[in-house]
Structure formats: C-alpha cells, structure tokens
Structure 1
Amino acid sequence: MPHFTLETNIPRNKVTVDFLKQTTAIMAKTLGKPESYCVAAVIADQPMVFGGSTDPCGTATLMSIGKLGVEENKKHAAVLYDHIEKNLGIPRNRLYITFVDADPANVGYNGTTFHQIFGGK
C-alpha cells in the first residue's frame, strides 16, 4: 500500500528501473512494510519552476497506512532525500515531500479496501 510519487523536471532518461527498484526497497525498509506492496513512480519531464529557477526540482508524496508521524517522517525524509539527490541529482532544497497517512477504508486493493483486509466490516 505504500506509494511514492515524484513529479520532476528532470529528463525521463535519468529515471532508471534500478532507481525505482531501489526506491521500493528503501520504502519497505523505512516504513517496515512488505516490499511486495510498495509502489514507486516518477513523472519526469514536467515543466516546473521552483523558487524562480528551472534547475532540477520536484514535488513528491509518500502515502502509507500508518508508520507516518512527526518522528517517523524525519527518518523517511532523510533516506528519501539522500536517495533522490544521489541518484537523480535533485538537491534537497529543491524538493518538497508531502507525507499522507491514509485511512485503511480509503485505500483500495484487490477489489476491496484495506479496512476489510485488516478485518474491518
């Protein structure tokens, strides 16, 4: 269920399958969730200006059911910013990450919701 989406102005050819696979592995580790549920997506080549400049930048969202909060998000931010800066060249000060702690009833999977999967009625 964890989902990471990055929208960026960097070229599509800089986003490799290895980067995406590394991202889901990082997500699984930092969130303590099975990697089999983790999704990573990069929407590249977006017309984007950050602070008046078209230098590499982006906005991202990390959604999870639980495992997010004040202290947890600091840990998640640290590993994600390191990974993105190292592999895509987007500086830390040119990227926002929004953390979304989703209610299980609002996340669908396999024809139902996680509320039902987790034992809700």
Structure 2
Amino acid sequence: MPTLRLLTNVEIDPASRPALMARASRTVAELLGKPESYVMVILESGRDLLFGGTADPAAYLELKSLNLPEARTPEFSRALCTLLADSLAIPPERVYIEFAAPPRHLFGWNNATF
C-alpha cells in the first residue's frame, strides 16, 4: 500500500508524466523493499504553491506506507529529493516531505483493511 503523492507548482508536459510516475513508483518500491504492484503514485502538477514567499519551482510530497521504517526517512528524503531535482529541476531546499505509517486497520483495500 505504499502511496506517494507528489504535488508541485511545476507544469509537467503530459507526454513526460508517465515516465516520471514510473520512475517514482520504482523508486518507492526499491526504497521500501515492497513489490511495485502495491505502489500507488499520485501526481498533481501545475498547482498553486508558494514556498518561502516565492512561486519558484517547489514540491510537497506525502509518502505513506504500512510499517514505514522511521529510522530510514533521511535516506528516503534524499532519494525523493534527487528524483525531483533530476526530473523537474526542483532544488531539495524547495521540497517538503511528510512521512506517515498508518495503522493497518485505518488503511483499506480490496473490501477490507490491512
């Protein structure tokens, strides 16, 4: 159930979106050691977003996963910031990332919860 939500003020060309989403999906699966078949990526580009008083390229990410290893969030932050810098030219200092590990009974899937 790993889910990555990527919200940015960068306008992403529709033709480029699938490759970015695929790279993000692979990255999340590799970081968490989970099958990519469980990973969901939500991409919201061209959003109104002001960070530090400017509308320069910026992003807000949410990474949710059951049993998210909190001790590894600095590693996850580096990997996700690198992804954004390489793909969208968003500098790491213009990225906020929220990490969350919801309890299994509060995350639903396939007519049930985990």
TM-score scaled by length of structure 1? 0.88
The 5 A counterparts of 1:13-92 are 13=13, 15-69=16-70, 71-92=71-92
Secondary structure of the corresponding residue to residue 53 of structure 1: coil
Aligned length: 113
Instruction: Measure how far apart 1:100 and its partner are.
Output: 0.4
CA distance in 2: counterparts of 1:12 and 1:78, whole angstroms: 22
| C-alpha contact 1:7 1:59 (8 A) present in aligned 2 | yes
Please identify, of 8-17 and 55-64, the stretch whose mean Cα deviation from structure 2 is larger. Answer: 8-17
- Identity across aligned pairs (percent)? 28
TM-score scaled by length of structure 2? 0.94
Q: Where does structure 1 differ by over 4 angstroms across 4 or more consecutive aligned residues?
A: none
CA distance in 1: counterparts of 2:6 and 2:68, whole angstroms: 20
Instruction: Measure how far apart 1:42 and its partner are.
Output: 1.3
What is the aligned partner in structure 2 of residue 119 from structure 1?
none
CA distance in 1: counterparts of 2:90 and 2:38, whole angstroms: 26
Secondary structure of the corresponding residue to residue 13 of structure 2: helix
| C-alpha contact 1:50 1:57 (8 A) present in aligned 2 | yes
Measured against aligned partners, the alpha-carbon deviations of 1:4-60 in whole angstroms (never above 9, x if no partner) come to 001110103175201101111110110011100001111111111110111001111
CA distance in 2: counterparts of 1:98 and 1:73, whole angstroms: 10
Q: Which amino acid aligns with 1:82?
A: T
Instruction: Measure how far apart 1:90 and its partner are.
Output: 1.1
Unaligned runs of 5+ residues in structure 1 are 115-121
| C-alpha contact 2:59 2:94 (8 A) present in aligned 1 | yes
What is the aligned partner in structure 2 of residue 117 from structure 1?
none
Secondary structure of the corresponding residue to residue 59 of structure 1: strand
Unaligned runs of 5+ residues in structure 2 are none
